[in-house]
Amino acid sequence: MFVCGVNEKEYKSDIDIVSNASCTTNYLAPLGKVINDRFGIVEGLMTTVHAMTATQKTVECPSSKDWIGGRAASFNIIPS
């Protein structure tokens, strides 16, 4: 996984698959790099909360994936 401003210089042309990370990683990695470079990070914990996502149901109904996925998006904040 590569994040601009964090580790993009580690990319080599022989790498066939490249991930641009996730929205959470793209947000947190640059800040984490600055803090780590200056003070050092021993351990970290992160929680992302999306109010609604494109795959979440808008009304409560069964989900084939998991029970959390069946909760109504507009009434629940679900960590992802």
User: At 28, which helix (H) or strand (E)?
Assistant: helix 23-38
Cα 5 to Cα 67: distance, rounded to the nearest angstrom: 38
- Return the bridge partners of 49, or none: 79
Is residue 23 part of the annotated active site? The answer reads yes
Selected catalytic residue, list 23, 34, 35, 77: 23
Which residue numbers are catalytic?
23
